[in-house]
């Protein structure tokens, strides 16, 4: 394996940074203030927060903004970086909704049309995806010209050994011949000691494939893990620009550059426009009351709770909405027990979301598994994977309780029917079911993701997009804003011997 001396970067500031620290609260106007400068930074990839239906749903329902308009914004602003997409749609395959395979192709084609670059595709090994989905998914991706970057997700359990990961990687590379590999430490559980054995165990089977390192900061070890990865020969790192670095997010690109240079490695990043991005995002954070990412102190509890960086901020927000934010510690404790009960599934979407939600229900009701999410029953049925998810290793009493629930038979039958429909349903049939035979692909996909047009209509009636000012706008913008404040009667601007006097 030949190893370059050049360290390169995959930027996830506006996707995983926002999901980890700002509960997916970044708006169109905020992106507009930083995209051009972000594009000038010299990173090879940028990850937008609009490649998965979950992000699109959040954009429409919570932010009341048009996701396709945001895609068009990216298309106008991003000229230099390539894009990275996620496991689009696959995480929506519950008993309620098995996504028709025909829809996946249309969705990918529509993303390609709306985004400014070719996209690559990540999928994670957490619920038998390589066995269930790759046989039909990979040929379709190849036909659509999409690069395949499977993400090998780090987990901590008796079954997730270096040998397990080595064997998994060997089979993955030989059978599917991916374009690259992502080493994904979503829960921030990797330690430097384990990195020294885990990364080489995987890389012995990857040859000259590009390797991307992705690590969250819940334990405070992610920057040390990056150094170990550099020593092992990894040359692409997933980073964020502050204030969306650190905390439960990713390492700062600036500190990662520093550490690469200390190791004698090279980088080709233009830091000047990225400092502008940092300044503007910090200003937006202060305006919105968003947290400023800061390095986490070491907390050994993360190895017990295993909650991903992209889930913890949303969990806190949800508990606050329920009025039980003071119960966070109890929810975390119950989350740890559910992980054991379910056979140590890797805590990544969708496992992490429904496990934490079930823990919140257990705490809110005061009884464990008295009220059950259908997702938990689906897990025991194997709908969310079998071997990779950990179903054979579940606590038998918990498994029996889930499978004996009255909903279990209904969910199993519904899942079987949904699977059959997913294999045979055409896009034309889907359009007809929504009364959108003549609608554009954009409108149809949005309606399908939102389950109808009600929320889309509410989004379109929400009024103009929120704008953010950076200090670089023309004087007329300042004057228009001042007109809104009737308590300001006079403003004088002076530079040298020149001055401007504004009165109202």
pLDDT (tens digit, 9 = 90+) per residue, 434-493?
899 999 999 999 998 898 999 999 999 998 888 887 766 666 666 666 666 667 777 777
Classify domain 8-288 at the CATH topology level. Answer: TIM Barrel (3.20.20)
Q: Name the H helices within 65-133.
A: 67-77, 101-114, 129-132
Report whether 312 contacts 329 (CB < 8 A): no
C-alpha–C-alpha distance, residues 85 and 118, integer Å: 10
- Compute how many other C-beta atoms are within 10 angstroms of the C-beta atom of residue 41: 23
Tokens found for residue 242: 């502050």
Domain map of the chain by residue range?
A: 8-288, 304-417
Q: Any idea what DSSP says for residue 503?
A: E
- For 173, 201, 430, 439, the CA distances from 198, given in Å and listed in that order, are 17, 5, 44, 49
H or E element at residue 73? helix 67-77
Report whether 429 contacts 103 (CB < 8 A): no
Weakly modelled stretches of the chain, pLDDT under 70: 1-2, 83-98, 117-118, 309-310, 471-486, 504
pLDDT value of residue 81: 81
C-alpha–C-alpha distance, residues 206 and 7, integer Å: 18
C-alpha–C-alpha distance, residues 469 and 62, integer Å: 22
Tokens found for residue 374: 């259908």
pLDDT value of residue 482: 65
C-alpha–C-alpha distance, residues 115 and 107, integer Å: 12
pLDDT value of residue 89: 44
Q: Comparing C-alpha atoms, which of 13, 8, 9, 90 is closest to residue 48? A: 13
H or E element at residue 236? strand 236-239
- Compute how many other C-beta atoms are within 10 angstroms of the C-beta atom of residue 180: 16
Residue 475 burial (C-beta neighbours within 10 Å; 0-12, 13-18, 19+): exposed
Q: At what angle do helices 101-114 and 441-450 cross, to 10 degrees?
A: 120
C-alpha–C-alpha distance, residues 220 and 248, integer Å: 9
pTM summary value:
0.86
pLDDT value of residue 82: 75
- Compute how many other C-beta atoms are within 10 angstroms of the C-beta atom of residue 8: 19
pLDDT value of residue 93: 47
Q: Comparing C-alpha atoms, which of 421, 378, 414, 449 is closest to residue 127? A: 378
CATH architecture entry for 304-417: Orthogonal Bundle (1.10)
- Terminal CA-CA length for the chain: 70
C-alpha–C-alpha distance, residues 170 and 174, integer Å: 6
Measure the CA dihedral 64/449/181/253, to 10°.
Answer: 0
C-alpha–C-alpha distance, residues 203 and 1, integer Å: 9
pLDDT value of residue 431: 94
Residue with tokens 């508990």: 319
pLDDT value of residue 408: 96
Residue with tokens 């500031």: 13
pLDDT value of residue 95: 46
- Cα radius of gyration (the chain): 24
**8-288 and 304-417 agree in CATH topology:** no
Report whether 99 contacts 422 (CB < 8 A): yes
């Amino acid at each position: 394996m030949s190893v370059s001396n050049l360290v390169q970067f995959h930027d996830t500031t506006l996707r995983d940074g926002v999901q980890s620290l700002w509960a997916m609260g970044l708006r169109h106007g905020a992106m507009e203030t930083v995209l051009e400068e972000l594009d000038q930074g010299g990173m090879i990839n940028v990850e937008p927060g609009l490649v998965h239906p979950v992000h699109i749903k959040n954009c429409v329902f919570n932010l009341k903004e048009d996701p396709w308009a945001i895609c068009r914004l990216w298309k106008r602003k991003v000229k230099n970086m390539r894009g990275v997409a996620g496991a689009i749609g696959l995480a929506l395959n519950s008993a309620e909704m098995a996504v028709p395979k025909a829809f996946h192709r249309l969705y990918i084609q529509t993303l390609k049309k709306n985004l400014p670059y070719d996209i690559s595709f990540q999928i994670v090994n957490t619920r038998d995806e390589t066995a269930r989905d790759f046989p039909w998914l990979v040929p379709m991706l190849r036909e659509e010209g999409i690069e395949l970057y499977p993400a090998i997700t780090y987990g901590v359990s008796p079954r997730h050994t270096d040998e397990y990961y080595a064997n998994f990687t060997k089979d993955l590379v030989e059978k599917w011949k991916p374009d690259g590999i992502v080493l994904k430490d979503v829960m921030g559980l990797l330690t430097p000691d384990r990195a020294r054995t885990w990364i080489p165990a995987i890389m012995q089977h990857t040859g000259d494939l590009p390797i991307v390192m992705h690590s969250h900061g819940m334990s405070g070890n992610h920057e040390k893990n990056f150094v170990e990865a550099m020593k092992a020969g990894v040359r692409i790192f997933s980073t964020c620009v502050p204030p969306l670095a650190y905390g439960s997010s990713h390492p700062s690109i600036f500190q990662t550059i520093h550490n690469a240079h200390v190791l004698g490695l090279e980088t080709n990043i233009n830091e000047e426009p990225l400092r502008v991005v940092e300044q503007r995002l910090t200003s937006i954070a202060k305006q919105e009351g968003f947290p400023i990412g800061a390095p986490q102190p070491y907390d050994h509890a993360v190895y017990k709770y295993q909650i991903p960086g992209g889930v913890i901020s949303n969990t806190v927000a949800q508990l606050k909405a329920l009025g039980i934010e003071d119960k966070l510690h109890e929810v975390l404790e119950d989350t740890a027990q559910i992980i054991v009960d379910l056979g140590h599934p890797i805590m990544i979407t969708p496992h992490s979301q429904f496990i934490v939600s079930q823990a919140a229900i257990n705490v809110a009701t005061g009884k464990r598994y008295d009220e059950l999410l259908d997702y938990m029953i689906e897990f025991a049925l194997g709908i969310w994977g079998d071997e990779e998810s950990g179903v054979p290793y579940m606590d038998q009493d918990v498994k029996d309780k889930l499978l004996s629930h009255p909903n279990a038979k209904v969910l199993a039958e519904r899942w079987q029917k949904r699977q059959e429909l997913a294999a045979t349903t055409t896009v034309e049939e889907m359009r007809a079911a929504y009364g959108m035979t003549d609608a554009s692909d954009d409108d149809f996909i949005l309606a399908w993701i939102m389950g109808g047009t009600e929320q889309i209509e509410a989004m379109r009636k929400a009024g103009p997009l929120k704008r953010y000012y950076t200090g670089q706008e023309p004087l007329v913008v300042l004057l228009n804003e001042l007109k809104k404040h009737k308590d300001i009667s006079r403003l004088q601007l002076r530079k040298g011997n020149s001055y401007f006097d504004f009165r109202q």
